[in-house]
Structure 1
Amino acid sequence: MEWLILTLASLLAGFVDAIVGGGGLILMPALFATFPNAAPATLLGTNKSASVWGTAAATWRYARRVPVRWQALLPAAAVCALGAWLGAWAVTVVPADGLRRALPFILAGVLAYTLARKDMGRHHAPRFAGAAETVAACAVGGVIGFYDGLFGPGTGSFFVFLFVRVLGYDFLHASASAKLLNTTSNVAAVALFAWKGHVWWHYGLAMAVANVAGSLLGTRLAFKHGAGFVRGVFLVVVTVLIAKTAWDAYGTLP
């Protein structure tokens, strides 16, 4: 039964993640519910071992259909991987409780800003070019990569929001760019978890196949319906993220 649960959860997670990020909202609860006594690091590592393939497949599909600004994003991807490694190291020495409690309010700010700016992300109008765009993309990659290694929830959504708000991309181009950076942060995380022996490969490989299938379906819908559709999914995912992170931070408090 656990194979069926995890495969279906991974399929749906890949679908959502390919459009705008947030697949971890689906797959991580499924893993924790299926294996309540397992070490959290092992479940995190197994999740990453599947989701990395879905994000890689989405990156490939987006790169074939959406013009990707490689000159800015490849250096940003390298900075993102370094940030993810540093974040993973930091979580071993610095408690993340403060960030956990602040996260719902940060996400609420992202949601409110996006709702208030109704035209934000509907038109692709990059604000920077050349070295300035590379620096801005590297800043986004480094900050969110570090966050992904340190904590993680909402990484894809934060990438999309910052590419729209800071670099002036529309939601479709932002999602394509986010997938590239999210792939590198996932690769860094999987390498670390695998090195520490925290990956169940027999589950991870089956979940990876389902995740890629979901990812291909999600990118197909994103291409068909464009930036407005991706914006709508973004708003839904961020709303669910607010509820989930608020419950995780405050739902069990006395």
Structure 2
Amino acid sequence: MLTTSIITKIIFLCGAGFLAAFVDSIAGGGGLISLPAFLAAGISPHLALGTNKFSASCASFTSSLKFAKSKKVNWQFLKYLLPFTLLGAVIGVNTVLKIDEKILQSLVLILILFVGIYSIFSKSIGVENKFKGTTKLNIFLGIILAFSLGFYDGFFGPGTGSFLIFGLIKIFGFDFVQAAGNGKLLNFTSNITALIIFALHGEIYYTVAIPMALFMILGAKLGTSLAINKGSKLIKPIFVTMSLAVACKIIIQNFL
């Protein structure tokens, strides 16, 4: 039987989940909203990570499907990258279940500050789609990106979508919409892989995860539609905002 406190917790997390999925489907960084919400609701860190993966996987699947139907996903190079994202996520989750995830935070802070600041001052980044096909070099760099961020997403998570968008723009020359579409599919792969491992370890709070997932699906549908229709003019400012917000969160948590 659900108590009043549990119902209140579910309502709070469903609202946070909707907003997180909406933002994440456009520019990444949804974990900045959803993970603190879990912790604020009194859910332990590992259980919060696992439950968040359950809900986020439902949302990222919704976004991936919508981007794919709108032909914003390029299977030409994703077929090389997806297996490495999966492998990285497997290693990442198994690592975080054994050690404290704070080890990565200083490096993440430096990287995501760079991503956000660079995007502010680079007026041309992600405005036009300059993808000219795959080469041995960009596939190699893409594999490194996919494995590294698969590991990071399984291990820690916040900012993965932003890193993927930035990396795909720089390596393959995509605009923000194409980078968001392809990045979302890579992000879904790492999410679902991490989810399976968290589930096997019993780190999912299903009473919260299921209703929250429904609201995150709604948020993802709305956000993806706006991203596809409004394009780079909508994605870039939200992308920059979420990148810098992740950095501020890490600074506040660890240095203040």
What band does the TM-score fall into relative to the shorter chain? over 0.9
User: Counterpart of 2:115 in 1: which secondary structure?
Assistant: helix
Name the counterpart of 1:114.
119
Output the TM-score relative to the length of structure 2.
0.92
Deviations 1:147-194 (CA, angstroms, capped at 9, x unpaired): 112222201100001001111110100000110000010011111110
Is 2:72–2:182's contact at 8 Å kept on the other side of the alignment? no
- Of the three residues 181, 199, 202, the one matched with 2:207 is 202
Matched, 1:138 2:134: no
Q: Which amino acid aligns with 2:54?
A: S
- Of the three residues 45, 48, 51, the one matched with 1:43 is 48
Alpha-carbon separation, structure 2, partners of 1:30 and 1:90: 23
- Of the three residues 30, 33, 40, the one matched with 1:33 is 40
Alpha-carbon separation, structure 1, partners of 2:141 and 2:22: 29
Name the counterpart of 2:177.
172
User: Counterpart of 1:210 in 2: which secondary structure?
Assistant: helix
User: Counterpart of 1:121 in 2: which secondary structure?
Assistant: coil
* Structure 2 unaligned spans of 5+: 1-7
Alpha-carbon separation, structure 2, partners of 1:216 and 1:187: 18
Give the deviation of 1:139 after TM superposition: 2.1
Identity of aligned residues (%): 31
Q: Which amino acid aligns with 1:15?
A: F
Give the deviation of 1:138 after TM superposition: 2.0
**CA RMSD, 1 decimal:** 1.6
Deviations 1:77-132 (CA, angstroms, capped at 9, x unpaired): 12101101112223355654442123222211112221221111100011542555
User: Counterpart of 2:126 in 1: which secondary structure?
Assistant: coil
Output the TM-score relative to the length of structure 1.
0.92
- Of the three residues 64, 67, 70, the one matched with 1:62 is 67
Q: Which runs of 4+ in 1 moved over 4 A?
A: 92-96, 130-133
Name the counterpart of 1:99.
104
Alpha-carbon separation, structure 1, partners of 2:79 and 2:188: 12
Aligned residues: 249
* Structure 1 unaligned spans of 5+: none
Change in CA separation of 1:105 and 1:130 when aligned onto 2, cut-off 3 Å: closer
